[in-house]
Amino acid sequence: MAGFDQLLQRFQRNISVLGRSQSTFNCYSRHVAAMAMHFGCLPTELDPEQVQDYLYLLQSRSKTPSQTYFKHTVYGLRFLLKCEGLDYSFLHLPSIKHEKKLPVVLSKEEMWQLLTKATLLKHKILLGLMYGCGLRCIEVRNIRLRDLDFDRKMLHIVQSKGKKDRYVPLSDHIIRGLQKYIGAERPIDWLFHGQPSGHQGRAGGDFDGRYSGRGINWVIKAVAKAAGIRKSISAHTLRHTYATHLLEDGLDIITLKELLGHERIETTMEYLHISQLDRNRAFSPLDTLFEQCAHASK
């Protein structure tokens, strides 16, 4: 398609200059390319009727249309037109409603089962670090040996989300495990390494030797299945569990915000909705009903 390669090159340049990630470009470009192929013209040449027809088509493809695919199509087109300096208000692109979903959280008993059911030392340490330090998937993948400070019992998380560094405490339990793991595996640079490219398998690594995000999620789901955990969990579930358990153990919300690396306190406060705090612990009226009526009937 004439001009599409040049359009994508400008799009990638503008996204980079604005500080957005390569993954953002990959996502947006994939969706605008699909739109261009559908109509056989540049996305910048579409009229309002074509855009509305395409968005309707996305919603009509299945009984349960992917809100994520629809959302990224809208965001990608809007961002592309903005980068090209074009007005897009006449297209009447829909506003995307953000779903308010509370995260899945493991109980302490479930978390213990997850840690004890991992058979490989590497997997035990991986799960222990993610839960014990509240790490994002990309953060645990990016850990280098030099980021571990056993003397100060701290982990240095380098240039994470928002291009910020932070320190989180290391448990004595995870330090002993890490020392055993490092002595056995002898990693050179990355703490968790995967298989070379081309031999990834289910839980392989990226071309630079790091453990892949897909591999980490595969480990979590496989161990959760072995532990008999029925909840739908992912790498981020361990981070949610970390935050919830710390609040329930008495940590204040401001300190938790810093440990999680959140930009806004409102993001951290969402965990207050799922934490069972002693001062405001939710309960079922069935509990008091049975207590009161069972005693009265005796």
- Cα separations in angstroms, 59 against 54, 68, 244: 9, 11, 36
The DSSP symbol for 106 reads -
pTM: 0.68
Among residues 128, 125, 126, the alpha carbon closest in space to that of 112 is found at 128
Q: Which fold has domain 108-279?
A: hpI Integrase; Chain A (1.10.443)
3-state secondary structure of 166: strand
Residue 16 has pLDDT above 70, yes or no: yes
Structure token digits, residue 45: 């040449």
Give alpha helix (H) positions in 46-157: 48-60, 67-83, 108-117, 121-133, 137-141
Q: In what order do the strands lie in the sheet with 148-149?
A: 148-149, 154-157, 166-169
Domain edges within the chain: 4-91, 108-279
| Confidence label for 210 from pLDDT (cuts 50, 70 and 90) | confident
Residue 53 has pLDDT above 50, yes or no: yes
Task: Give Dmax over CA atoms of the chain in angstroms.
Answer: 86
| Confidence label for 206 from pLDDT (cuts 50, 70 and 90) | very low
Residue 243 has pLDDT above 90, yes or no: yes
Convert the pLDDT of each residue in 247-272 to its tens digit: 998 899 999 999 999 989 988 998 88
Q: How far apart are CA 298 and CA 282, in angstroms?
A: 28
Q: How far apart are CA 94 and CA 108, in angstroms?
A: 42
3-state secondary structure of 43: helix
> Rounded mean pLDDT of the chain?
85
Residue 204 has pLDDT above 60, yes or no: no
Q: In terms of CATH architecture, what is 4-91?
A: Orthogonal Bundle (1.10)
Q: Which of 156-160, 192-196, 292-296 is most confident?
A: 156-160
Active site residues: 136, 161, 236, 239, 262, 271
Q: Per-residue pLDDT averaged across 62-89, rounded?
A: 79
Residue predicted with more confidence, 139 or 102: 139
| Confidence label for 276 from pLDDT (cuts 50, 70 and 90) | confident
Residue 239 CA from chain centroid, whole number: 9
Convert the pLDDT of each residue in 213-232 to its tens digit: 889 999 999 999 999 999 99
Q: What share of the chain is helix, strand, coil (3-state, %, to 5)?
A: 60, 5, 35
Q: How far apart are CA 21 and CA 162, in angstroms?
A: 10
